[in-house]
Structure 1
C-alpha cells in the first residue's frame, strides 16, 4: 500500500513538472518517466487488489472439516459367512445412510467410513485380508439395523479367516528331507547357548549314546 502511495505522489510531481517545462528534450524525458511510472502503478494496484480479494475469500469461505481431522469409533460388532465365490460381512449399526458412507475396496483391504450417525463417525476396516478380492465387484447394502458388505473373491475357494495371518512356522525343506538335521541343530544350539555344566551334560549324553551305554536317540533314523 505504501508503494502505491509513493508512486501516485511521484506521478503528481512529474505531471506538475511537465506542465511547467518548456524545452522539448525535458518534456520528452518527463513524458517517458510518467509512462513508466503509470505502468508500474497499474501492476502494483492489480497485485494489491488480488491480495485483498484472496483475504476476503479466506475470511468468508466455509470451514471444511477434512477427513484427517475426524474422529472415528471402530465398529467391532460383526459376523460373516462365505461361499465359494464371495464373502458377506454383516456389520451391526443403526441409522447408517448410504450417501454419508465412504467405501474403499482394494485387492487386499477394506475400509468403510460411516459419517454422522447420531452425531458420531464410525469405521470398519480390515487392513489386510486373508486373500485377494475384486474391488470393482464388491458392494454394500444398508439396512435399518445393519450394513451388509459383499466381497467378491479373486479366486474361488474357502477362507479360513477374514484377516491375513502370516505363517510363522516356515519349514526348511532341506531339514524336512533329513529329519536328523533338525535334531542336530537343536542339540547344537543348546550346546552353544548353554553354560559349562550344560555343555558337559550334552557332551556326555552324546558320548554315552554313541558308545552304547545309553540308547541312541537317533537310532531310528537312517
Structure 2
C-alpha cells in the first residue's frame, strides 16, 4: 500500500468515526459524501497502483497521459418533470469511455459526480443543499453522447423553482418586498425618506423644495421626515 493510500485510509477512518458521533442530518450528509469521495479516491489509487505493477513486468509501453489532474465542473443545465429533476453536464467524449469510469453518489440533499480518465483528466461535480429531498435509491445517472444526465428522483412531486437552497436564498434577497395590503402612499413615503436620509445636502434641498411646492398646493405642512 502506498503512502498516499495510507493517508487516505486514515482520513476515511476519521470520517467514519465522526459519522458515528454526529446527530445532525445535514452534517451527516456532508460526511457521507466525503466518505464516498474518499472511498472512490482510494479505489482509484489502488487501481492505478495495480496497473503500474502489471506494466512493470510487461514489455515497456509508451507513456500515457497523466490522469491525476482534476477539473471541477461548474457549467450545467437542468430541468424537471413531475418525478425527476434532471441535470445535464456536457463532457465531450464521455460516451466513449468505460461506463464504470462515471461514478455518482447521492444523499437526500446532495450528489457528487466523478468522471475518471476522460481525455487524460478527471472531472468532478458536487451539488449540496438541493432545494428539496430526493430519493437516493431511485436516483441515477445516464450516459448519452457527450453528456452525463443526472436523474434526481423527487420525494414529493412538487415543482422546484431552483436547484439548490443557496440559489433560492440568493434570489430571495434580490426580490423587492411588496406588501399587497400596505398603503401605497406609505410605501412612497418610505422610499422618499430613504432617498432623503441617504442623499447629500443638494438632494435634501431638492426634495424639500419639491415637497414644499406640492404641500403648498394642497394647503398642508412640511414632510414628516
Report the Cα distance in structure 2 between the residues aligned to 1:138 and 1:177, rounded to whole angstroms: 45
Query: Which is worse superposed, 105-114 or 89-98?
Result: 89-98
Which residue does 1:74 correspond to in 2?
72
Change (3 A) 1:87 1:193: closer
Q: C-alpha distance in 2, partners of 1:106/1:123? A: 16
3-state SS in 2 of match to 1:99: helix
What is the TM-score with the length of structure 2 in the denominator?
Answer: 0.54
Match of 2:203 in 1: 198
RMSD: 3.3
Give aligned pairs, total: 153
- Partner of residue 88, structure 1: 86
Task: Report how far residue 212 of structure 1 moved.
Answer: 0.9
Task: Give the aligned partner of residue 217 of structure 1.
Answer: none
Alignment of 1:72-221 (within 5 A): 72-75=70-73, 78-93=76-91, 94=94, 95-143=96-144, 145-163=146-164, 164-166=167-169, 167-168=172-173, 169=175, 171=177, 173=179, 176-212=181-217
Quote the Cα distance in structure 2 between the aligned partners of 1:75 and 1:187.
46
Q: In 2, Cα distance between the equivalents of 1:165 and 1:132?
A: 15
Is the deviation greater in 187-196 or in 138-147? Answer: 138-147
Q: Whole-Å Cα distance in 1 between the matches of residues 108 and 208 of structure 2?
A: 54
**Higher relative contact order, chain-length normalized (CA < 8 Å, sep 6+):** 2
Gaps of 5+ in 2: 9-36, 42-67, 220-225
Bigger Rg, structure 1 or 2: 1
- How high is the TM-score relative to the length of structure 1? 0.54
Structure 1 residues 188 and 81: alpha-carbon distance in aligned structure 2, compared to 1, 3 A threshold: closer
Where does structure 1 differ by over 6 angstroms across 4 or more consecutive aligned residues? none
Which whole-Å CA distance do the structure 2 matches of 1:79 and 1:72 have between them? 21
Using a 3 Å threshold, how does the CA distance of structure 1 residues 74 and 152 change in structure 2: closer, same or farther? same
Instruction: Name the SS for the 2:192 alignment partner.
Output: helix
